[in-house]
Amino acid sequence: MPINSQLALQRNLSKLLILKGLSFAWFPIPTIMLFYESHGLSIEQSIFLKTVLSISFFLLEIPSGYIADQWGRKFCLVSGSGIWVISWLIYGTQETFSWFIVAEALTGVAGSLISGADTAITYDTLLTLKRPQDYRKFEGKLVAIAGISEAICGLIGAFVAQYNLVYPFYLQTICLIFYCLLATQLIEPDNDNLELSQEPQNLWSIVKNALIINASIRWFILFSSTFSVATFLIVWLSQAYLSNYNVPTAWFGVVWVGFHGMMSLASLSANNLEEKLGLKKSLLFLIILLASSYLFLGIIEQVWGIMFVAVIYCVRGWITPILNEAINNLVPSVTRATVFSIKSFIFRLGFAIIGTASGWLADQKSLHLSLTIMGIIFLIFGLFSWRNLIKLKAI
């Protein structure tokens, strides 16, 4: 590769770090349940909005990954962030449940375009630079930056939300506009030089290989989805948990900073965790830690039980680099974005089912019962997937 081309591609890495920070500048998230409540929404309706988000992802996730592999990852990042801006502007200007459904549906379209494309362009950039062995560490940095961005922006969002709960949406919209502009400056790695023997595949053959033929990829995807559903669900349930104990709005931001600070530190040590325990023991340790944290949250009916939410955020920080690298090692560059979109597709489908059930339980029965049952479900699904990976000698 010419030196100029290599330097240009090298700059992708710093741009990707910045893009990750901008995409996780989630100013509204720490107080979004309060925002919904201020507009008369119940917990069940609030969780339903996230179910709409998951269904939107569900319908477009795999096709968008295929588009990224065929039309370019940069194209998907730019168009996805542009649609995301529109969805957040709806939140900032409208006030009804129906409009919020539209906003979540568009957010799903945006997220499906970005999902898979960002992971694929990251790994293929390192592959082109002949540095694939650095992926796990780099992914750890990405997760850390995401956590730091969420923490700082969440704190700012909680502060400005005291004056108006819609202000955090305006702040994130500005960050998304910058994301869109920066994404246009990325360099697309040349996949033809990465794998000359690989021919483009049709969409169905990629899906069939990932979910039916290649059992190792299938069980890694299902295992990853268990973690993704659990760590995504806790974002919303933890806010309801804090609200149950009358925690002031300003403290939502402080708690948010603590959660994401711990997640960032965990992600930076993911490489050390796997090197010490090995892949098999690391995954077993993390699924037990995740499920037991949910169970303790359900059992302990006191505000200090929130410490187990922090543990779940640590699990999120550890698991993301470890599982993403494991899947990347099994997937060729020509189908990488599609496979990661399939992974996200399964996660969104799982959340549409589990999230809806959890929200119903929290509203109709109790939040603590919902947390306990979710812990049991995640433990069963996680151990079952882990056991199948062992049988396949994939870990």
Answer whether residue 310 shows pLDDT above 70: yes
* pLDDT of 196 above 60: no
pLDDT-derived band at 250, boundaries 50, 70, 90 = low
Per-residue pLDDT at 3:
59
Give the Cα separation of 28 and 164 in Å (integer): 11
CA distance 161 to 169: 10
The answer to whether position 194 is within a domain reads: no
Q: Name residues whose C-beta falls within 8 Å of residue 44's C-beta, 6 or more positions apart in sequence.
A: 359, 360, 362, 363, 364
Min mean pLDDT across 126-135, 180-189, 375-384 is at 126-135
Range of the domain at 378: 3-185+203-391
d(C-alpha 51, C-alpha 37), whole Å: 17
**Could you give the C-alpha distances from 361 to 115, 122, 229, in angstroms and in order?**
30, 39, 16
Domain-embedded: residue 191: no
Give the closest residue to 112 by CA, choosing from 144, 66, 143, 179: 66
Residue 94 to residue 5: CA distance in whole angstroms: 46
Q: What is the CATH number of the domain that holds 292?
A: 1.20.1250.20
Question: What contacts 84, CB < 8 A, 6 or more positions away?
Answer: 106, 107, 110, 111, 114, 176, 179
Q: What is the mean pLDDT of residues 363-375?
A: 91
Position 239 confidence tier, pLDDT thresholds 50, 70, 90 = confident
The dihedral formed by the CA atoms of 257, 261, 264 and 265, expressed in degrees to the nearest 10: 180
- For 56, 76, 123, the CA distances from 344, given in Å and listed in that order, are 12, 15, 17
- What percent of the chain is modeled with pLDDT above 70? 95
Residue 356 lies in a domain: yes
Q: Residue 197's pLDDT is what? A: 41
Residue 300 is encoded by which pair of tokens? 């302990």
Q: What CA–CA distance (Å, rounded) separates 23 from 17? A: 10
Residue 247 lies in a domain: yes
Q: Give the H or E element holding residue 51.
A: helix 43-71
Residue 352 lies in a domain: yes
**269 secondary structure, DSSP code:** T
- The CA-to-CA distance between both ends of the chain, in Å, stands at 35
Radius of gyration of the chain (CA): 20
User: Does the pLDDT at position 106 exceed 90?
Assistant: yes
Q: Name the helix (H) or strand (E) containing 273.
A: helix 270-299
Is residue 195 domain-resident?
Answer: no
Q: Is the separation of the CB atoms in 228 and 355 below 8 Å? A: no
- Mind giving me the DSSP string for 343-393? HHHHHHHHHHHHHHHHHHHHHHT-HHHHHHHHHHHHHHHHHHHHHHHHHTT
Overall average pLDDT of the 1-28 stretch: 85
Place of tokens 């290989």: 209
Average pLDDT rounded to a whole number, residues 296-311: 88
The pTM assigned to this predicted structure is 0.75
Q: How many angstroms separate the CA atoms of 287 and 303, rounded?
A: 24
In the DSSP assignment, the letter for residue 331 is S
Q: Is residue 197 part of a domain?
A: no
Please give the average per-residue pLDDT across 100-113, as a whole number: 92
Number of other CB atoms surrounding residue 303 within 10 Å: 13
Q: Which among 122, 89, 117 is positioned nearest to 103, based on CA atoms?
A: 89
Q: Which residues contact 379 (CB under 8 A, 6 or more apart)?
A: 287, 288, 291, 292, 295
As separate numbers, helices (DSSP H) first and strands (DSSP E) second, the chain gives 16, 0
Q: What was the pLDDT predicted at 4?
A: 56
**pLDDT one-digit tens code per residue, 147-172:** 889 888 888 998 899 899 999 999 99
- Residue 260 inside a domain? The answer is yes
CA distance 312 to 292: 10
| Count of the separate structural domains present in the chain | 1
Mean pLDDT of 252-265: 82
- Comparing 387 with 190, the larger pLDDT belongs to 387
Q: What is the dihedral sign for C-alpha 39, 42, 46, 51?
A: negative
Alpha carbon separation from 18 to 11, 68, 210, 327 (Å, rounded): 11, 20, 31, 24
